[in-house]
Copies of this chain bind each other. A is one copy, B any other.
Amino acid sequence: MGDPALSQIRIVLVEPAGALNVGSIARVIKNMGLQHLVLVNPQCDPNSDEARQMAVRGHEILAAAQQVATLTEALQGCQRVIATIGRDHSPDQSVEAPRQALPWLLDQPAALVFGREDRGLTTTELNYAHRLVRIPADPAYPSLNLAQAVGICCYELYQAAELLEPLPDRPSDQNQSESVAELASFEALEGYYQHLETVLLKIGYLYPHTAASRMGKFRRLFNRSQLSKAELALLRGILSQLEWSLAEPKKTT
């Protein structure tokens, strides 16, 4: 069943190592009306007895869990991506509370990404996210069990979806498809970043050895602004125009 506002959200676990955690996560995903679990290169067996025992009636979520090799595969088709981050990580990007950021995933092809039990997500992985969240916790011991972290975020999603229901001034069905259509897809953004990097290298703004970190800043900047398809088309248009100008013999100048 589940709430329609939650039906397009996938919970993505990057290299989870604990079968108990994965099972427990399948259960709480079902408790909170979500459906999709994606495991990126899991380091444990999601079909083990341990996992299934913890899943209880979430076993179908576990059985249907998609396994992929990389985070980029897990994010195919998503328009909104939020990643979770621990206390010890302090990225350039601003970090929000789940209650503040997670409602933004509702009614969208979206992903909520959780990192490894022991060391979370890498900077490269975090750079795929449009927004970052950190669960408020006591600074004396802020490191939550993975399943607890997922549970708390799913609970916030469920509550946000419940709040959506009776309110006509919230995103309603008629303008939903419209605004979904407007946002640039993950693939389109990736295509743009590749194109941008190529052009910036070509003009000598980027150097091969610093390109990755500099591009990380651009990714964060553009991801934060939540580009629409139309805006992305404009940005790509600039790049094409630039390339055209660079190729053209400079007669007119």
Question: A residues near B, CB below 8 A?
Answer: 1-3, 20, 24, 27-28, 30-33, 54, 56-58, 99, 135-145, 147-148, 151-152, 155, 158-159, 162
Q: How far is the CA of A148 from the CA of B153 in the complex (A)?
A: 11
Known contacts A24-B148, A152-B151; A57/B135 CB under 8 A: no
Copies in the complex: 2
- Which B residues lie within 8 Å of A152 (CB)? 151-152, 155
The answer to whether A31 and B144 touch across the interface, beta carbons within 8 angstroms, is: yes
The answer to whether A138 and B24 touch across the interface, beta carbons within 8 angstroms, is: no
The answer to whether A148 and B31 touch across the interface, beta carbons within 8 angstroms, is: yes
Q: How far is the CA of A144 from the CA of B27 in the complex (A)?
A: 8
Q: How far is the CA of A144 from the CA of B144 in the complex (A)?
A: 18
Q: How far is the CA of A27 from the CA of B142 in the complex (A)?
A: 10
Q: Which of B1, B28, B136 contacts A144 (CB 8 A)?
A: B28
- Which B residues lie within 8 Å of A31 (CB)? 137-138, 141-144, 148
State how many angstroms separate the Cβ of A5 from the closest Cβ of chain B: 12
The answer to whether B159 and A136 touch across the interface, beta carbons within 8 angstroms, is: yes
- Which B residues lie within 8 Å of A162 (CB)? 136
Q: How far is the CA of A198 from the CA of B188 in the complex (A)?
A: 59
- Which B residues lie within 8 Å of A99 (CB)? 159
Please, which residue of chain B has its CB at the minimum distance from the CB of A24?
B145
Q: How far is the CA of A140 from the CA of B27 in the complex (A)?
A: 12
- Which B residues lie within 8 Å of A151 (CB)? 144, 148, 151-152
Q: Which of B57, B137, B143, B158 contacts A143 (CB 8 A)?
A: B57
State how many angstroms separate the Cβ of A220 from the closest Cβ of chain B: 20
State how many angstroms separate the Cβ of A164 from the closest Cβ of chain B: 13
The answer to whether A138 and B32 touch across the interface, beta carbons within 8 angstroms, is: yes
The answer to whether A54 and B145 touch across the interface, beta carbons within 8 angstroms, is: yes
- Which B residues lie within 8 Å of A20 (CB)? 20
